[in-house]
Amino acid sequence: MPELLAAGQSWSVPLGSNLLDVLNGAGLRVPYSCRSGSCHACLVRCVRGEPLDDRPEALSAVRREQGWRLACQCRVVDDLEVQLFDPSRDGLPARVHSLDWLSPSVLRLRLLPDKSLRYAAGQHLVLWTAGGVARPYSLASVPGEEPWLEFHLDCRQSGAFSEAASRLQPGDVLGLGELRGGALHYDPDWSGRPLWLLAAGTGLAPLWGVLREALRQHHQGPIRVIHQAHDATGHYLAEPLRALAEAHPQVQLQLVAASEQAAVLAELRLVSRQTLALLCGSPASVEAFARRLFLIGVPRNQVLADIFLPHA
């Protein structure tokens, strides 16, 4: 059986074992979220040996050359030594600027990184607590517009990261992992085209950034924003969204309760085949949005989606 060395421990593991499972089975607490190679919370660095990687394309060539691998996608097929991700060593430090509750269940977290971070509206980062708890979150801020990085944390259900975040104080330090994403973004070439932004819950966070980026770049086409929430309190950006809609006549806003989803989607009609649609939220909500868009004739290559997976 292959020998695995990590964090000063060495032990034998069955051939073909999932690297994430055997590391956590040994009590090393490697964080993870999606287990599909998307969130990048389970980064480890291979310093000796090479695992069998089921998704090598999930990491950039530069990261792979540095030895980084996604533990959830790797199987141990030979002796292997790995170094666990350490946010204080491998991440970018960021200090808490402010925390405030946008609703009873949504916590807004603003961070000031120690050095400037180049990003685009709609991307996401893995956030690390000092205790090694990690979770990916979409950026709700707009680059160049605000000095901080903004995140909207859904705290309806308890989770290790959200619980730790609720105890943070201004000045506390978090670690920033790899910048990811790109499906949800704004392209200046879209300026004259209809743009639909469909979000559920805190899936609104990246689209809030995309919406403001589109307006900052003087988008000329109509913009339709639909935000679905469990109830009225879930529309945590209702007032800022209404203010934008009042200031920009091309923005049409609908705030929808979950119970109204089917009726609202049934009313959607395609006015232009040039329509672009950006979707974000839970798997069920994104699937419902995408199904309706397909039925009314929005071309599939004009539908961009990001799914928020529950913690595995």
Helix, strand, coil share of the chain (percent; to 5): 30, 35, 40
234 shares a domain with 206: yes
Domain that holds residue 78: 3-85
Helix, strand or coil for residue 167? coil
Choosing from 180, 205, 222, the residue where a domain stops is: 180
Nearest Cα to Cα of residue 224 among 296, 263, 290, 277: 277
At position 6, the amino acid (one-letter code) is A
Residue pLDDT, tens place only, 30-83: 988 778 888 888 999 999 999 999 999 989 898 899 999 999 999 999 999 999
What DSSP designation does 66 have?
Answer: T
pTM: 0.87
Average of per-residue pLDDT values in the chain: 94
103 shares a domain with 29: no
pLDDT the model gives residue 137: 94
CATH number, domain containing residue 285: 3.40.50.80
Choosing from 39, 58, 85, the residue where a domain stops is: 85
**CA 224/CA 172 separation, integer angstroms:** 38
239 shares a domain with 302: yes
pLDDT the model gives residue 310: 65
Residue 312 lies in a domain: no
State the pLDDT confidence band at 198, using cuts at 50, 70 and 90.
very high
